[in-house]
Structure 1
Amino acid sequence: MKTNKVSKRELAYQAIRKRIVDGRYGPGQRIVIDQIAKELGSSAIPVREAIHQLESEQLLNYVPNVGPVVRSFDHSRYKETLEAVAVLEGYATRLAVPSLKEPELQHLVQLNEDMKQALSQFDLQHVSQLNRTFHHFIYEHCPNSSIVQSIEQYRERLNTIHQTSFLRNPKRAPYSLAEHDRLIELITSKQDETEIELFARQHKLNTVESFETKEKK
């Protein structure tokens, strides 16, 4: 009996979370517990438990006389998360360098070319997807699994903020892709690993700075 309850709770958690991440549930949207319970063929109890977990993950807010609603865009949270990713990805890139041989570097080149092609077609959603793939491919070669896990957790948090940085600030995209070219060049030419780390970190911080500039206008 206990196992079934946990299963229903997890099912509700995954269903609600996926709808938040993919944008089906937008900022400010109310989560109707009875409706979700009916969809999943469960009672309201596991849905409420799932909602409590999503509240603890800061994906939902409880509003008096309304109930749980999807959190609105949080400027400070977005900025802080990007800054944390910048530090972690910079160091992960440094540690990954010895594992990035010619085939891996050619794959990164192709990913960046695909991004340029998508950008030329104004397909920012695809650019964003490829950008995540590009950076994931680098840091998955980092031998420190704790750092990789931390990056994944922060990136999951970014996925819940409803819009990627390119969608929020499309003018940043061409500069970001040029920085990808430079990063690949630094790794290919076997530059000092500290220089590579600092460049990879600044690449992400440039997104933060670009976002800040846009928000002040």
Structure 2
Amino acid sequence: MRASLDDLDPIRFSALNREFHFTLHERCPNERVRGLLETQWARLDTIRRSVSPHVPGRSRSSVAEHAELLDLIAAGAPAERVEQAARAHKLRTAAAVSAGSGGTP
């Protein structure tokens, strides 16, 4: 994802973003939670495809947040800290998409 930032292709970036997130959540031992995540991701794909190209500035921040998550996981950070960082990432993304689509963040 980082390498694609200079010549941003929103469709390719979205595919890499999906791969990143699925790589993390596919390790979840709870099959029900994995199913819920996959269903939610599919529902949000339509929004991502239609709005994400209008918020390209979010890409760099998103990649930095992904790196932070990986660093926390690699360092063996407490699950609560990883969850906190993941939740903040999702909320910042939601706010950027909302603002980019004319909504209120």
Runs of 4+ that moved beyond 6 A: none
- 1:200 maps to 86
- Quick one: percent identity of the two aligned structures? 33
CA contact (8 A) 2:11 2:49 kept: no
Q: Is 1:141–2:49 an aligned residue pair?
A: no
Q: Gaps spanning 5+ residues in structure 1: where?
A: 1-114
Number of positions where the alignment pairs a residue of Structure 1 with one of Structure 2: 103
SS in 1 for 2:17: helix
Q: TM-score normalised to the size of structure 2?
A: 0.87
CA distance in 1: counterparts of 2:30 and 2:48, whole angstroms: 29
SS in 1 for 2:27: coil
SS in 2 for 1:143: coil
Letter in 2 for 1:173: S
* More moved, 161-170 vs 129-138: 161-170
CA distance in 1: counterparts of 2:93 and 2:35, whole angstroms: 22
CA distance in 2: counterparts of 1:204 and 1:164, whole angstroms: 18
Q: Gaps spanning 5+ residues in structure 2: where?
A: none
Q: TM-score normalised to the size of structure 1?
A: 0.44
Q: CA RMSD in A?
A: 1.8
CA contact (8 A) 1:166 1:173 kept: no
Aligned pairs for 1:136-175 within 5 A: 136-161=22-47, 163=49, 166-175=52-61
* Cα distance change on mapping 1:165 and 1:192 into 2, 3 Å: farther
